[in-house]
Structure 1
Amino acid sequence: MDFPKKGINFRDIMPLFAHPKIVDDLCKAIAQHIRTSVGEINAIAALEARGFLFGPMVAILLGVPFVPIRKKGKLPGQCLQASYMKEYGEV
């Protein structure tokens, strides 16, 4: 698809949210995968914004806290920071 730039294969997942059963099944499958492949965890951490769509639901299913990871400058006060690479640029 070459979006947002050449070589990137972007997939729009938003249409999934028109189907609550599919979203529920997906979150349950992710939670089950974590249970069987990872084992016990302390929390689910997810990057904004797409990670915020599934992260809280999976955390609830696993009975653990959800830790939202925000971009620099989005929260007041002192915060932990780290740089990371996205598929189409560094943040």
Structure 2
Amino acid sequence: MSAAKEKVAFADLEPLICDADNMVDVLMDLVERHFGLVPDGRNYVLTQTEGTRLFFVASTAAAMSMKAKKAYYEAVEGNAS
């Protein structure tokens, strides 16, 4: 890492955490909508669009969560020194 890189402050974490929380909320809404009820048959059925959207939201939520976690630890290390 370069010395010119800005340190992340705790105050900078709020938007990352809120974005990750909002994405998880969207993910849970999709999961509840599609998997909250037992299907008539033996399998849950999603359209290709629904499956693609669900995968996108889950991937984005995971990426946002990892980004927030990384920023948190950078802020902790920055404030400890």
* TM-score (structure 2 length as normaliser): 0.29
Q: Greater relative contact order (Cα 8 A, min sep 6): structure 1 or 2?
A: 2
Bigger share in helix? 2
Bigger share in strand? 1
| Structure with larger Rg | 2
* TM-score (structure 1 length as normaliser): 0.26
